[in-house]
Amino acid sequence: MIQQILIAAGGLGLFLLGMTVLTEGLRALAGRSLRRWLTRFTKTPVSGAITGAAVTALIQSSSATTVTAVGFVGAGLLTFPQALGIIYGANVGTTLTGWIVALVGFKLDLGSTALPLLLLGMLMRLFGGARLRHTGWALTGFSLLFIGIDAMQDGLGVLEGAVTPEDFPGDSVWGRLQLVAIGVAITLVTQSSSAGIATALVALGSGAISFPQAAAMVIGMDVGTTFTAFLATLGGTTAGRRTGYAHVIYNVLTGCMAFALLDLYVDTVSPLLGAGSQGDPQVAVVAFHSTFNLLGVILVLPFAGAFARLIEWLVPERESNLVAGLDSMLLQDPDSATDAVAKAVSEAGRRSFRLLRFWIGRPESSQEPIDDPAQELEEMARGLDAIRAYIVQITFEEHDWDGRARLAHLLHALDHQSRLCSRLSDPPEPQVLDENPRLCRCASLLAAALPGSLWPDSTHAQRSQKVADILTRHRHAFRRQALAAATREPSSINTVPAKLDAYRWLERCARHVQRLTDHRSRAAEEVVSEASVLGPGSKPSTGA
């Protein structure tokens, strides 16, 4: 018996490995299309739920869908209520795995057939091109699923007759609560509700547990799948913590609803599963899982706004800082992590532009006075260091030139942001700018070119480049005029160096603003075009 139990444990391990490999392969095959779908079709919580269900069913990972949604909220691409729709839908999409296991894994007995498919998948992975490698990896994961199911069936077959439903808690309220707790525990151990459900289906098929017991355990597995995600969000960004709280509260409420409906479902379905009937208990369990998840989405969607406000009240917005959106959870998805970096760089640019307006005496009408510019620059320097440390942890696939190119643009923007801060730490005296008409006009031109929004676009970049070019073009003329004026008024000779330094300071600040804005606007594209950044067969450009 011990040997058979070890075989079953190994089968569960193969199933978990297959789920991981399958998800990796499908995500790589889908590429950035999933991100475009999520942002394009997630306009309301309803459309978000539909899109979230479709994407999760496609990549077989609710956690991957949730992480992407968190990244979009943190980057400002989606609102929190829209992201809630994605989370609701992800719960429905993840039930597809149970259907695959029940309808294909048990009915067709693909354990032996999957072995040559496993070899084929690995050969494609080792020797194929980019897309063929990803396809092979997904096929490898798919094969491992059925090999794992076959091993679990063989291993747990020894329990037939030795372990019966009577060995588990009885069919009472307290007994069902215990079964729910068992389901939660299984999911916490396996870190996968899909693996837990597969285990329950195998146990049901071997006669170790009854249909009502399996259904109660599935409720616990659905609730247990949220705890890992919740723990991952603790100490993270506001968007991540709100998502974690929402996921747990929603799944607990859905689980309570499913528990209340369990008697009704069992009474309705049990006659179809009796002796001589054509009903299948395993399919009935999977149908129950899908039904209560779908019903939960239908019931909660009309109250999505109120639910979002509740979560926002439970998890209030933290004090804004440059690194508030740099959540370690987002590192699972390089594109979402890059979104967080893009927002941080944009926020750093907004703050430095605010300081620049302050120093040249052209603040916006709504701008509050800056009490301690030196302290603000010091905080910004620490924030820029934290952004660089976060970027180091972002890893793209070897041939993901689009992602690398986008991150390269952000690194360029970060470099010019640092240089601009260095200029702001040594500004000219305000009276030098105010007393010279030409310097005063240059300062006004620069102030007009500064982006007023957090997300600069190509228009901002073109305007700032035009101002930087004007200042560069007139630099020598200003120098000649300043020196000529000093010869006419010898008393002003001592002010010439300060005027020339002020002009150079304005010109260099303008150039950093232009390059910062240009690289940030390029990185704002969802996918940077290879043609615009890369040459044929080359790597991402690193030009300044």
For residue 175, count other CB atoms closer than 10 A to its CB. Answer: 15
What are the structural domains, with CATH classification, of the chain?
A: 2-314 (no CATH), 328-533 (1.20.58)
Instruction: Give the phi and the psi of residue 239 in degrees, each rounded to 5.
Output: -60, -40
> Residue 164 pairs with which residues in a beta bridge?
none
CA–CA separation, 336 and 321 (whole Å):
19
| 390/442 Cα distance (integer angstroms) | 37
Q: Which of 226, 301, 212, 227 is nearest to 258 (CA)?
A: 212
The pLDDT tens digits of the residues spanning 425-445 come to 888 888 888 888 888 888 888
Q: How does pLDDT run along the chain (544 residues), one tens digit per residue?
A: 677 778 878 888 888 888 888 878 887 777 677 777 777 778 888 888 888 888 888 877 777 787 778 777 776 777 888 888 888 888 888 888 888 888 876 666 666 677 888 889 899 888 888 788 888 988 898 888 888 888 887 776 655 555 667 777 877 888 889 999 998 888 888 777 788 888 888 888 878 888 888 999 999 988 888 776 676 666 667 777 888 888 889 989 999 999 999 989 988 888 777 654 556 888 899 999 999 999 999 999 888 889 988 988 888 876 567 777 787 778 888 888 888 898 888 888 888 888 888 888 777 655 666 778 888 888 888 999 999 999 999 988 777 788 888 899 999 999 999 999 999 988 888 888 888 888 888 888 888 888 766 566 667 778 888 988 998 998 888 888 888 887 877 766 778 888 899 899 999 999 999 999 888 888 875 433 333 333 333 344 444 5
| pLDDT the model gives residue 533 | 35
Q: Write the pLDDT tens digit of every residue in 158-200.
A: 555 556 677 778 778 888 899 999 988 888 887 777 888 888 8
Local structure of 163: helix, strand or coil: strand
Listed residue (450, 444, 472) closest to 517, CA to CA: 450
**442 vs 283: CA distance, rounded Å:** 74
| Distance from C-alpha of 351 to C-alpha of 367, rounded to nearest angstrom | 11
Sign of the Cα torsion 185, 187, 189, 195 reads positive
Measured between alpha carbons, how far is 218 from 225 in angstroms, rounded to an integer?
Answer: 11
- For residues 408 and 414, give the distance between their C-alpha atoms in angstroms, rounded to a whole number: 10
Angle at CA 204, nearest 5°, toward 19 and 9? 45
3-state secondary structure 53-95: HHHHHHHCCHHHHHHHHHHHHHHCCCCHHHHHHHHHHHHHHCC
Number of CB atoms found within 10 A of residue 393's CB: 12
Residue 491 burial (10 A CB sphere; 0-12, 13-18, 19+): exposed
* Model pLDDT, residue 417: 92
The candidate with the shortest Cα–Cα distance to 86, out of 49, 36, 39, is: 49
Residues 91, 252 contacting (CB under 8 angstroms): no
